[in-house]
Amino acid sequence: MKREIIAGNWKMNCTKAETVELIEKLLPLVGDPGKMEVVICVPFTNIDAARKALRGHKGIKLGAQNVHWAPKGAFTGEISADMLKSLKVKYVIIGHSERRQYFGETDESVNARLKAAVAAGLKAIVCVGETLEEREAGRTREVLLRQTSAAFEGIDKSALKQIVVAYEPVWAIGTGKTATPKEANTAAFVIRKALRKQYGRTPAHAMRVQYGGSMNASNVKELMAMPQIDGGLIGGASLKPEEFAKIVHYDEL
Ligand code: 13P
């Protein structure tokens, strides 16, 4: 049985004070997450405040939303893996569709960032997913296979335990539209197919695939019931403590 993982992607939300406030509300609501792995990925500027607010609470891990591929140098505005490590960050999101859409992130840069993250000992949440246009053109499968294979190019089998893949259909992000459980399951199966081709059946099967895109307390249960789905990457609902805690404890809903 794989350990399920619920991660909150706070995106570009919350000041430092709001971060502390949100975490202080969240901690008693989440309580003991049991077997569930729980991560919150906050903006870079709030990492240190989040770390302090989470101190003493073992249940929630700290994540960032991006990492640069170079160890250091002339890359204005970027953050290295070692910088994240020095703030006790455990997880980092890589290749989110908003990065791909608005900031020129490519399959190649996603791959470079992933290599840097795993080499530094960070855990990575690698995002893949088709746009509405691609889905309507019947290209979902092709896009998922391409994005997954490209992201993992040159990644050693031994690093797979550090990586989670998030299937996030772009058309479902922040839109209130969710992929049906069946659609999400099929997509996760395709992602595993790409992993299987590169690493073989057992390692591909052992990897965790999350679903992301308007996941909330009302749809988490049916999505998590799908055999190919091992977790969720939550945007909007991760900023609502009650809702996020319900998602974490979805088995009690
Ligand atoms: P929403 O849950 O707001 O749709 O965002 C999903 C997402 O992009 C998580 O990374």
What phi, psi does 27 have (nearest 5°)? -55, -50
Kindly report the length of the chain.
Answer: 253
Instruction: For a ligand 1 pocket test, name from 13, 173, 243 the mutation site with the most ligand atoms within 8 angstroms of its C-beta.
Output: 173
User: Per-residue pLDDT tens for 70-92?
Assistant: 999 999 999 999 999 999 999 99
Quickly count: other Cβ atoms within 10 Å of residue 54's Cβ. 18
Structural domain containing residue 25: 5-252
The whole-chain average pLDDT of the chain stands at 97
**∠ Cα 188 88 147 (to 5°):** 25
Angle, helices 16-30 vs 47-54, to 10°: value is 30
b/e map 20-34, b = 16+ CB within 10 Å: bebbeebbeebeebe
Q: Is 236 in the pocket of ligand 1 (CB under 6 A)?
A: yes
Q: Quote the ligand 1 centre to 213 CA distance (angstroms).
A: 5
Does 57 participate in catalysis according to the annotation? no
Q: Which two tokens stand for residue 34?
A: 């049991």
Report the interhelical angle of 140-152 vs 107-119 (nearest 10°). 40
**Residue 58, pLDDT score:** 82
pLDDT for 1 beyond 90? no
State the total domains in the chain: 1
Q: 4, 37, 68, 96: which one is catalytic?
A: 96
Residue type, 218: S
Note the pLDDT of residue 74.
98
> Which CATH number covers residue 35?
3.20.20.70
